[in-house]
Structure 1
Amino acid sequence: MYLEHFGFAEQPFSLTPDTGFFYRHPGQQEALNVLLVALATGEGFIKIVGEVGTGKTLLCRRLLDSLGEDCVTAYLPNPLLSPRQLHQAVADELGIEFRRDATVQELLKCLAARLVELSDAGRQVVLCIDEAQAMSDESLEALRLLSNLETEKRKLLHIVLFAQPELDERLAGTGLRQLRQRITFGYRLEPLNREDVAGYVAHRLRVAGCPQQIFTRRAIDRLFRASRGVPRLVNILCHKSLLAAFGRGEATIDLAPVRAAVADTPDAALGERLSAAPMVWGLALTGALILAGLALVARWALGGMP
């Protein structure tokens, strides 16, 4: 499409979580540091929470890439599983052979034996679960029980949950309080601020092979307002803006292509209206105060006030 036009070696704003584009802004880097420190200290349960599109999956993949050869990793991208299916999925990830009709107790026995074997070999097992808010209460409880596998000295299994804030709402209830108490480390990913959005866009352009910033300052301002700093929305809007600029034969992206991208992205258009609402109310209030002041002045001038 527009790769040759702008001189890109690859698409800079793909929605695929590519760790080559990982941007070390303070939020993502702090979250990664929390994960690495927690795993280094042998914690059993760790939780990363963030709104839709804030980069949880990319952070998960970056964590998996960061772990050394002394770690054995298991990754579940779709945890919408029954407790039995959960045990089977973890066993598959760890390369355990088992009968497909094995009971949960038999699966737990196989898992425990494999975890002890890896621990004796000096290897740490890390299970990363993406979209953990989709898990049922029964599967979350099965996961908690799975974390009971340990020696006198250390945990045999370290579990990292990546989830939307809905998981926190569920954990706040009494039904999952035991799991809540097991989570010793956590971090909440926040949207990017305006400076981070500018740095994020420049970083992805640079990685894709374009060293200069081709988005104007006004374009970045509009991107930030429309995306509310959500990286996924930034990617969508930048991709559509590049398409619009390419169609116009333009080498830089100013307001017009971004406006077109926002208009074509319902979530961004809604976000822009919401962000503009406080300003509209502020202007309305200011106008009302001015009118009230003018009315008082008029009454005074006409002798209606002392």
Structure 2
Amino acid sequence: MASTLSIYNEHFGLAERPFTLLPDPDFLYWSDSHTRAYAMLEYGMLTHAPITVITGEIGAGKTTLLRHLLRSLPEEFTVGLISNAQGNRGELLHWVLMALGVPTEEGASYVRLFAQFQEFLIEEYASGRRTILIFDEAQNLSTETLEELRMFSNINADKDELIQLVLVGQPELRDLIAQPRLVQFAQRVSAEYHLPAMTAEQVQAYVNHRLAVAGADREIFTPAACECVHQVSGGVPRLVNQICDYAMVYAYTDGARLIDAGIVEQVAADRRMHGNLKMVV
């Protein structure tokens, strides 16, 4: 028996599901804000910025931008990606070395771990490679961890940075960095951008873009439906995806091939009733 999703795709003439919650660079919509955020990431890479910071609300598209960056970086970059790193001073180094593929000895002291880290950076630099550490969900880092990261950024060779740091997180990350204790860290941030929510016009373009990537060759969401999606999602891409995905299921079960504001309003009402989706209205 065919799955609901495959039938829903067939019903709308789509090759794949357009509104999944997984960060997929193939569906990346280049709004003005996402273009600027990505330009800031590239600027940080090209100018050897010691620390680059990108922030945005949950579901704003930060991780998707990171995925696109990782696919686009030249081969001479060595990248370590750390998500939700937590713990004390020594544990951070374990996270970092693991992300860089550096084996560590069980029970090794902090001094030994740091020496391994330094040796790795020097070897990469000598080989003509640049090392980048990317921290996703960086708002979960402590002030002590951020201060340790600042010390990492002090490792250099003459005028060249041996390591660059990219921190991506929710708006709380900006508040964390603004603390008086982290003034030296803030001074090392050379590239920074905050991703705002999408406007109503951007939501409509975003919805139509994802549908086109999935194979749509006609209008599926009316302009009024897109306006309603913006109202109930606040312009946050992940919420837009949730609402649109539900709306397509509702339309499929009703036999409708065009999604209007009424269907979106029904989705919003049902989600609020069951508490499964936090709407912005």
State the TM-score, normalizing by the size of structure 1. 0.85
Pick from 69, 89, 92: which aligns with 2:98?
A: 92
Matches within 5 A, 1:1-306: 1=4, 2-266=8-272, 270-272=279-281
**Per the alignment, in what secondary structure is the counterpart of residue 46 of structure 1?**
strand
Distance 1:188 1:269 in 2: 22
**Per the alignment, in what secondary structure is the counterpart of residue 32 of structure 1?**
helix
Cα contact 1:32–1:59 (8 A) shared by 2: yes
**Per the alignment, in what secondary structure is the counterpart of residue 181 of structure 2?**
coil
Larger radius of gyration: 1
Following TM superposition, by how much is the alpha carbon of 1:13 offset from its aligned partner in structure 2, in angstroms?
A: 0.5
Cα contact 2:268–2:279 (8 A) shared by 1: no
String of CA shifts for 1:76-128, please: whole Å, max 9, x gaps: 12222322221112111222122021111111110111111111111111111
Following TM superposition, by how much is the alpha carbon of 1:256 offset from its aligned partner in structure 2, in angstroms?
A: 2.2
String of CA shifts for 1:166-198, please: whole Å, max 9, x gaps: 121122221111111111110010111111111
Following TM superposition, by how much is the alpha carbon of 1:270 offset from its aligned partner in structure 2, in angstroms?
A: 4.5
Where in structure 1 do 4 or more consecutive aligned residues deviate above 6 Å?
none
Q: Which amino acid aligns with 1:134?
A: N
Name the count of aligned residue pairs: 272
Following TM superposition, by how much is the alpha carbon of 1:40 offset from its aligned partner in structure 2, in angstroms?
A: 0.7
Give the gaps of 5 or more residues in structure 1: 273-306
Distance 1:126 1:264 in 2: 44
Following TM superposition, by how much is the alpha carbon of 1:11 offset from its aligned partner in structure 2, in angstroms?
A: 1.1
Q: Which amino acid aligns with 2:280?
A: G
Cα contact 1:202–1:212 (8 A) shared by 2: no
Give the gaps of 5 or more residues in structure 2: none
Identity of aligned residues (%): 37
RMSD of equivalent CA atoms: 1.4
Distance 1:269 1:51 in 2: 14
Distance 2:111 2:218 in 1: 59
